[in-house]
Structure 1
Amino acid sequence: MGGTEQEKMVIVVREYEEEKDREGAELVDRICEVGPSGAVSLFTDLLGDPVCRVRHFPAFLMLVAETTSPEREIVGLIRGCVKSVTCGDKGPRRGGGGAVPIYTKAAYILGLRVSPSHRRLGIGLKLVQRMEEWFVSKGAEYSYMATDNDNKASLRLFTDRLHYSKFRTPSILVHPVFAGHRLPLPRTVTLVRLSPSDAESLYRRRFSTIEFFPRDIDAILHNPLSLGTFLALPSGAAFSGIESFLADPPTSWAVLSVWDSKSLFRLEIRGASLLLRGLAWTSRAVDRALPWLKIPSFPNLFRPFGGYFLYGLGGEGPTAKELLRALCLHAHNMARAGGCSVVATEVAACEPLIDGIPHWKRLSCAEDLWCIKRLAEDYSDGAVGDWSRSPPGSSMFVDPREV
């Protein structure tokens, strides 16, 4: 694009309008990579709904960048949401009863896209700045975003120009779904499906002080995309209701919830070699023909595929890792029945139960990068102080709506 044409171009950033912007926004989403660039890239398809990734939040906004001269064209977009999350705790309550969570209003940026033909023109900067203005108008105290460590352009924009700081490096763990066979569950484990109300009680009592725990956990658990919360107990342990469990839990237990990301978007790996595609096809063919051999097969990730996301993972006790592993195997079987190709989760890099989460290293990311920015200095976070400068905890809660 020549300098003269750039000088004539006028860029307007405005709120997304469903009827007239949908086609253009879908196009920008389709032509932009969502993973690290290179020979092999990851692309996303939002299934015809550009706002689907944020519309499940209590407050959300989507902005588009549009050229008005020489012709109208959507060349960029950004999505954002505001919610209340835990940023720490105040210490034990008087008289016991556990710690008191400190909530803050946090804004999350996701889905920043700029058309490849219009990059390096400051469009991404304009989109983020306008989104931050909206965050402040909604009372957000912090803004944060996630990016890949290898995405140098994104890091330069957020850390150098917008003054975000590197905050957390959680791990994204991905396990393929074996189309040819179910994964057997250990007989030493009993699984209990919790109602959304019982799951809410468990999460609020046991998880509400870990970082990023959402205050509206009830809305997440009651969402149709939340496919269930499952509790794993040692075989023989009785479950007589959530209140009895919380009052006197067994020595070991684990829990997780399953979110249907497949109904929101599909992913696709592009640029893989013919050799890799052939090896993957062979593994699936053998798995289908000889399912009793339980051969780990590589799913077809080279055409649009969906997955389930595991959230709210946790537990306590000496056998919590084994119990969590059983829950992940159960989620794999759910994903197989649901026509998924992967199950995935994201946890703190130092999560104590991380060894109990089955995953393939070749599909996973050891260090996702979250960056944060304090939007206003006059906000107070109680005992936590400036959350953006606080050290990481051993666990964190990853909201499935952000995935």
Structure 2
Amino acid sequence: MGVMCEAEAGAKKTMIRVREFDVGRDLRAVEELERRCQVGMSGDQNPDDNGGARKKKTKKGMSLYVEQIGDPFSRIRHAPDHVILVAEYGDEEDIVGVIKACTRMVSRGKTKKKQSPSSSKQQCHQFVKVACLLGLRVSPSHRCKHIAPSNASKHDSALTQIICRRLGIASELVRRAESWSASRGASHATMATTASNTASLALFTGPRFAYAPFRRPVFLGHPVHRHRARLPRAHRVLRLPPPLAAAAYAALLPPAAAEFQPADLPALLAHKLTLGTYLAIERSGPARGPPSYALLSVWDATRSLRLRVGGAPTLLRASLAAARALDRNAPWLQLPSVPDIFRPFGTYLLYGLRMSGPEGPALLRTLCRHAHNVARKNPACAVVAADLGPDDPAAAAVPHWPRFSSDEDVWCIKKLRVNGGNARDDDDDWTASSPAGVLFVDPREF
């Protein structure tokens, strides 16, 4: 199924064919497209600048690049319902565009009362089905149509005029992804980009699709060095088995207190890439007042993505290299030397961060140090990072370095329509609601 579009008034109409991805037929083509093309969302950059990596602005003159490792399904395979759509253009059989989408049940961050059709009692409705649109890519050679006027000399570049018109490939991919999502029962669609990606924001928030900027999570990263971080003696760190971890989250972070918390949180906590869920408490109990605690889980993302810092001045690179050399030759100095972050490196993601009580921030810092000690055992991991809502109190307690952190991310959202008609009316306008206390960032879709 495709859509017809004109490259120029009066020109021959050309078909854009959008179909589902076929692994045996399309894998190599999609991998090549992701390697070389400019991405229309998620902050990805021009291939001439950075090979298609997602770029998060950090310090002035420096950027943090996020690169996926090879697997086209890496960000959607954990969702029970997902799809990859590819686009072909005209008579060509080459793939010129791709988009990924998945649906999942997530919390709204509040409890909505809903009338039961069989009873006069009201029922709690905490979860909604949301679609995530990811990895939109359009081939650089098919973003625009270049046409030279018939009266211009073929070899006279000074006289030749180029008329450039977008072909609508990205728009058709987004439209088809939204249609697929609505057919799966999703009431909202979301996408993520960066504030500096004006092309992506213009496409999604423009009049054609009318997404609304929604949430602004902050990415907080801290380097992993070779030496063990010391934990306060007054704090005790407990590792919770998955069933107990799920019970702890149900009690300490209920769906009504968090946005985008997945309904399958127990499965996430039991996933093989969740290295552990940790609870920190005071050994002697609270001196006075309510008890304090901190809770977080650690996800191994070293197998699915790589990060890299770009744009660093030469002097900084040299000084960090010297610190590493000194640390290797004089380890007794216990220098917290920074790994080589100017080459691709892996990361552990912290998720489900929660704290409470007067000692909560200190306990959360202890858990972050414990996560650092877990990460230092993996040579592929150079940074421990967390994605949090800017208003989350945990954001102020998480240790981080500015060069590994970013506040560039922008989440956008829209209500989906039913069969091309009006937007769904079975839910109030989430797009205009104020943020909940906690923004839960699922590490499976990072």
Q: Does 1:214 align with 2:238?
A: no
Of residues 25, 28, 43 in structure 2, which corresponds to 1:20? 25
Q: Does 1:162 align with 2:182?
A: no
Q: Partners in 2 of 1:291 and 1:132 — Cα distance?
A: 55
Q: Partners in 2 of 1:54 and 1:251 — Cα distance?
A: 39
Residue matched to 1:241: none
Q: Does 1:147 align with 2:193?
A: yes
Maintained 8 Å contact 2:85/2:99: yes
Q: Partners in 1 of 2:320 and 2:217 — Cα distance?
A: 28
SS at match of 2:366: helix
Maintained 8 Å contact 1:86/1:211: yes
Residue matched to 2:139: 115
SS at match of 1:147: strand
> Structure 1, residues 140-195: CA drift from partner, whole Å, max 9, x if none?
000111111111001001101310001111111111111x3222111111010011
Would the alpha carbon gap of residues 321 and 355 (structure 1) be closer, same or farther in structure 2, given more than 3 Å must change?
same
SS at match of 1:145: strand
Residue matched to 1:189: 235
Q: Counterpart amino acid of 1:116?
A: P
Residue matched to 1:134: 180
Maintained 8 Å contact 2:261/2:440: yes
Residue matched to 2:318: 278
Would the alpha carbon gap of residues 72 and 43 (structure 1) be closer, same or farther in structure 2, given more than 3 Å must change?
farther
Q: Partners in 1 of 2:138 and 2:105 — Cα distance?
A: 29
Q: Partners in 2 of 1:337 and 1:90 — Cα distance?
A: 41
Q: Counterpart amino acid of 1:72?
A: E
User: How much does 1:365 deviate?
Assistant: 1.1
Residue matched to 1:51: 73
Would the alpha carbon gap of residues 278 and 9 (structure 1) be closer, same or farther in structure 2, given more than 3 Å must change?
farther
Give the CA RMSD over aligned residues. Answer: 2.7
Would the alpha carbon gap of residues 299 and 76 (structure 1) be closer, same or farther in structure 2, given more than 3 Å must change?
farther
Residue matched to 1:33: 53
User: How much does 1:282 deviate?
Assistant: 2.0
Of residues 326, 332, 345 in structure 2, which corresponds to 1:305? 345
Of residues 57, 81, 89 in structure 1, which corresponds to 2:110? 89
Maintained 8 Å contact 1:86/1:101: no
Would the alpha carbon gap of residues 41 and 7 (structure 1) be closer, same or farther in structure 2, given more than 3 Å must change?
farther
Q: Does 1:204 align with 2:250?
A: yes
Residue matched to 1:243: none
User: Comparing 108-117 with 147-156, which one deviates more in the overlay?
Assistant: 108-117
Q: Does 1:72 align with 2:115?
A: no
Q: Does 1:289 align with 2:329?
A: yes
SS at match of 2:321: helix
Q: Partners in 2 of 1:335 and 1:202 — Cα distance?
A: 23
Maintained 8 Å contact 1:36/1:151: no
| Structure 2 unmatched runs, 5+ | 1-6, 37-51, 114-122, 144-165, 418-422
Identify, as 1 or 2, the structure richer in helix: 1
Q: Partners in 1 of 2:103 and 2:189 — Cα distance?
A: 9
Maintained 8 Å contact 2:195/2:410: yes
| Paired residue total | 379
| Structure 1 unmatched runs, 5+ | 93-98, 239-248
Residue matched to 2:40: none
SS at match of 2:262: coil
Residue matched to 1:246: none
Of residues 381, 394, 397 in structure 1, which corresponds to 2:437? 394
Identify, as 1 or 2, the structure richer in strand: 2
User: How much does 1:253 deviate?
Assistant: 0.3
Maintained 8 Å contact 1:196/1:221: yes
Q: Partners in 1 of 2:347 and 2:331 — Cα distance?
A: 21
User: How much does 1:83 deviate?
Assistant: 0.8
Q: Counterpart amino acid of 2:349?
A: F
Maintained 8 Å contact 1:43/1:268: yes
- TM-score normalised to structure 1 length: 0.86
User: How much does 1:45 deviate?
Assistant: 4.6
Maintained 8 Å contact 1:346/1:398: yes
Q: Partners in 2 of 1:380 and 1:177 — Cα distance?
A: 46
User: How much does 1:101 deviate?
Assistant: 5.8
User: How much does 1:397 deviate?
Assistant: 1.0
Q: Does 1:266 align with 2:312?
A: no
Would the alpha carbon gap of residues 267 and 15 (structure 1) be closer, same or farther in structure 2, given more than 3 Å must change?
farther
Q: Counterpart amino acid of 1:364?
A: S
SS at match of 1:28: helix
SS at match of 2:131: strand
- TM-score normalised to structure 2 length: 0.78
SS at match of 2:79: coil
Q: Partners in 2 of 1:270 and 1:318 — Cα distance?
A: 39
